[in-house]
Homo-oligomer: A and B are copies of this chain.
Amino acid sequence: MPTVRYEKIYRELRGAIEAGAYPKELPTEQHLTEQFGCSRNTVRRAIGRLEEDGYVQSARGRGVFVLFEKPERTEFKFSDVESMKEAAERTHLDVTTKVVYFTELTVDEPTHSLTGLPQGEEIYYLRRVRFLGGEALILDHNYFLKSVARGLSPKIAEASVYEYMERVLKEKIVTTQRKYTVELAQPTDREYLDLGDYNCLVMVSSRTFNAKGVQFEFTQSRHRADRFAFYGQVRRRKPGK
């Protein structure tokens, strides 16, 4: 439960929007300030979050317009750093993970240039197949820095690596940089995933950093193309320049 005020206000407003309480626009910042008994700055931070998430759009001199419409996000929500387990809880689909390979190795030059992890470091390398609602959807190639994800085991990797790192190791996972591309399927992919009519899959390469700014993970997730969906909102910064 967030004790932070703007977070609380953000959640409350978001809930109200989803419930249809504000079909066209939000009350004025002045009004919300009184309603929540906080400063205008705090209300503005909450509205800023709503804008980031595509719920509203504010216009100087006019007000704050509501853009919301029920999103059918039955699939993933990748706009947050979300673990598979968390995604499952949100979507109410049962999720299972099968570790099909687990080893420890040292980062050599080719591995370094693939993963961005520092050469010479000890790492865990594992492959995992992710099932959602009984279907094999994702084949993961995970590279974890041993010095950060210390004590990782196949058993833990079948549950949740992030939960282990946060709960047991007290590590804080903060930023992920991702790259999405589409690749032709390899024999290894067909071995684990049912690709259907598609001859390719979505490859999501991610680098994740902890609170100290250290990249401790590189993951290449190979997704079944027909079940992949990604949603995003963007704001236009400057017209000409």
How many Å lie between the Cα of A175 and that of B238 in the bound state?
12
Instruction: Find out whether the CB atom of A176 lies under 8 angstroms from the CB atom of B80.
Output: no
Contact A175 B236 (CB under 8 A): yes
Apart from A62-B212, A179-B229, list 12 A-B contacts with CB within 8 A.
A54-B175, A79-B232, A80-B236, A174-B236, A175-B234, A176-B234, A176-B236, A182-B200, A184-B197, A184-B198, A199-B199, A230-B230
Point out the residues of chain B lying under 8 angstroms from A235, CB to CB: 81, 174-176
What total of chain A residues lie within 8 Å of the partner, measured CB to CB?
Answer: 56
- Asked whether, in the complex, the Cβ of A233 is within 8 Å of the Cβ of B57, the reply is no
Chain B residues with Cβ under 8 A from A176's Cβ?
233-236
- A125 beta carbon closer than 8 Å to chain B: no
Q: Which residues of B contact A54 (CB under 8 A)?
A: 175, 177
- Residues of A at under 8 Å CB distance from B? 1-2, 25, 51, 54, 57, 59, 62, 65-67, 69, 78-81, 116, 166, 172-182, 184, 197-200, 202, 209, 211-213, 215, 225-226, 228-241
In the bound complex, residues from chain B placing their C-beta under 8 Å from that of A184 are 197-198
Beyond A59-B211, A198-B184, whether A231 also contacts B175 by CB under 8 A is no
